[in-house]
Structure 1
Amino acid sequence: MDKPRAPRNTGYLDPQAGSLEPQVGYPGSHAGYPVPPADYPVADQSSIPVSDQPEHTQPGGSAGVPWMPAPPRPLNCPPGLEYLTQIDQVLIHQEVKLLKVLLDFQSKNKYEIKNSFGQKIFLAVEDTDCCTRNCWEALRPFTLRILDNTGREVITLERPLRCTSCCFPCCLQKIEVQAPPGVPIGYITQTWHPFLPKFKIQNEKEEDVLKICGPFFVCNCFGDVDFEIKSLDEQNVVGKIAKQWTGLYREAFSDADNFGIQFPVDLDVKMKAVVLGACFLIDFMFFEKAGGQDQKAGVW
């Protein structure tokens, strides 16, 4: 009997059909998880917190969706981020909020973070109070806690309260990324531009590493909206954050969004976590419903 073959890794998951859809112009993922080079420092195997993840152990996730097996954790890699070391694509699926659809009531955002095989890597849960969510809506400050399959918090995102339609630097958006919680590893800061949404990806010393440039119109009926990840001189595109089209009904009546992230497989794992944080900031700034409308402010 032939052994079952693993699905080919060809790109993003189609949010409608659940199938893999090839993406052109970016390097594809490897089939399976490549073994690190012999000279790549690898931590003692006994220090790996999880060696074989079950199909479903964390409340709030989708039952039957397998978790990504934990690869070896390299030296100088924060605990939990080893899942990002060997992948170049991440898929983010936001949970549909029935209270928001039916009553226009803001509940906590929840997300599943997966690799391109559809295996779960993390769960992300917003930590805010009811008053903050419904008074400030998309502008709200928040703490976003990213958990592994055991419920351990491996990444924390902190967004302060700042207005978005303002030309003053003190009002530009910013997120601090911590891994483990309490230890900053990088920042996403908005750069003022008269027409385009632009951001800087910074390391723990607030030194610029990469840039993110969005389109003039942050909407695209029947198509994806791409935010390109570029080198500091903006001459080379090294990846992208794509807000994926999820269908007319879902786009019109729900703010549950799907995102796909592509970055170089050899990018510093801490910067991969910061790019992940940038995706959530972009979601809140441009695609979170506010008073029945998408939040489109934030460019100026």
Structure 2
Amino acid sequence: MSVEKQPMGMELQPTGLPASLTYLQDLDQITIKQKIEMLEVLTGFETRNRYAVLNKEGQQIFFVQEESSLCERCFCAPNRGFQLHMTDNNSQEVVRMSREFKFCMGCCWCGGGCCQMEIVVESPVGRVLGKIRTGTSKWKAHVQVYDATDKHVFTIWGMCCPCQTPCCKEDLNFPITTPDLSQRVGNIAREWRGCFVDCCTDADTLRLEFPVDMTLDCKMLLTGAAFMIEYYIFEMEKNGNGQ
């Protein structure tokens, strides 16, 4: 079920963002739920990912669809380039997230340099809000969030073993902190899907939490960071290339 009373139209607000995004102003949490693709379940064929963005009541507030190369999805899925088109419930694109194809894996110990993965977040299309980049580490993957001026605003660390099994049923948490790691400002969690779902599909559910008074630009950048974690960490895990 879609949310009611979502602002309509693509007219820009004083923030420079599309009107539909103002719905996020009073939210402190969203859930990003990947759609189960039956073709992928039955054949293992890597299809384009689709996601519903939900509020706490489980109502759809946005929809995200991947645009990517069939060849890259089939032969180098974790590294593939893509564009993620986020649309409102009026089917108008309000955010675009783009990542270029990288030949190298970009795993935690070589997450920087030429292997660095980067997602560019635009809203509206053509106006860059900032970028999400992978960073280097000896044992845990992490990403860094930069604003439109290329200022480092958030750091998100993963864990040593980002896996869930019948013996590891806890949600996987990725704390969002200030760049110096001194203050925690939010969290991204991959929710435990249950044994049956885990066996039948690789569709993920991510829960993003942030302060209700955070700026809309930052909320959208953290949404981009959630998708970076989804593709950078869990797509590798799905394809047998876990870190």
Partner of 1:78: 17
Partner of 1:193: 137
CA contact (8 A) 2:50 2:65 kept: yes
Higher CA-based Rg: 1
Q: Check 1:97–1:118 CA distance in 2 against 1; reply closer, same or farther (3 A cut).
A: same
Q: Check 1:107–1:239 CA distance in 2 against 1; reply closer, same or farther (3 A cut).
A: same
Mapped to 2, the partners of 1:179 and 1:295 lie a distance apart of: 32
Report whether the alignment pairs 1:173 with 2:117.
yes
Partner secondary structure for residue 125 of structure 1: strand
Superposition deviation, residue 295 in structure 1: 4.3
TM-score, normalised with respect to structure 2: 0.89
Amino acid at match of 1:215: M
Q: Check 1:236–1:191 CA distance in 2 against 1; reply closer, same or farther (3 A cut).
A: same
Partner of 1:10: none
Amino acid at match of 2:214: L
User: Bigger shift: 262-271 or 128-137?
Assistant: 128-137
CA contact (8 A) 1:188 1:277 kept: yes
Partner secondary structure for residue 170 of structure 1: helix
Aligned counterpart in structure 1 of residue 161 of structure 2, from 204, 207, 217? 217
Superposition deviation, residue 114 in structure 1: 0.7
Show structure 1 runs of 5+ residues with no match: 1-64
Report whether the alignment pairs 1:234 with 2:181.
yes
Mapped to 2, the partners of 1:201 and 1:181 lie a distance apart of: 19
CA contact (8 A) 1:77 1:269 kept: no
CA contact (8 A) 1:93 1:257 kept: yes
CA contact (8 A) 1:287 1:295 kept: no
Superposition deviation, residue 240 in structure 1: 0.5
Partner of 1:261: 208
Report whether the alignment pairs 1:69 with 2:8.
no
Mapped to 1, the partners of 2:219 and 2:205 lie a distance apart of: 18
CA contact (8 A) 1:211 1:234 kept: yes
User: Bigger shift: 176-185 or 133-142?
Assistant: 133-142
For 1:2-41, list aligned pairs within 5 A: none
CA contact (8 A) 2:69 2:82 kept: no
Mapped to 2, the partners of 1:269 and 1:142 lie a distance apart of: 23
Identity %: 30
Please list the CA deviations of residues 259-299 of structure 1 after superposition, one character each: whole Å capped at 9, or x if unmatched: 10001111111111111011111111222267x645423xx
CA contact (8 A) 1:68 1:120 kept: no
Partner of 1:44: none
Partner of 2:242: 296
Amino acid at match of 1:169: G
Partner of 1:119: 59
Partner secondary structure for residue 76 of structure 2: helix
Report whether the alignment pairs 1:208 with 2:155.
no
Mapped to 2, the partners of 1:286 and 1:117 lie a distance apart of: 28
Mapped to 2, the partners of 1:243 and 1:294 lie a distance apart of: 18
Mapped to 2, the partners of 1:135 and 1:208 lie a distance apart of: 33
Superposition deviation, residue 129 in structure 1: 2.9
CA contact (8 A) 1:124 1:146 kept: yes
Partner of 1:99: 39
Aligned residues: 232
Mapped to 2, the partners of 1:106 and 1:112 lie a distance apart of: 19
**Counting helix residues as a fraction of each chain, which structure ranks higher?**
2
Mapped to 1, the partners of 2:225 and 2:22 lie a distance apart of: 19
Partner secondary structure for residue 221 of structure 2: helix
Runs of 4+ in 1 over 6 A off after TM superposition: none
Partner secondary structure for residue 14 of structure 2: coil
Aligned counterpart in structure 2 of residue 249 of structure 1, from 188, 196, 203? 196
Q: Check 1:216–1:117 CA distance in 2 against 1; reply closer, same or farther (3 A cut).
A: same
Mapped to 2, the partners of 1:129 and 1:161 lie a distance apart of: 10
Amino acid at match of 1:66: S
TM-score, normalised with respect to structure 1: 0.73
CA contact (8 A) 2:155 2:177 kept: yes
Please list the CA deviations of residues 234-261 of structure 1 after superposition, one character each: whole Å capped at 9, or x if unmatched: 0211110000011112223311111100
CA RMSD, 1 decimal: 1.9
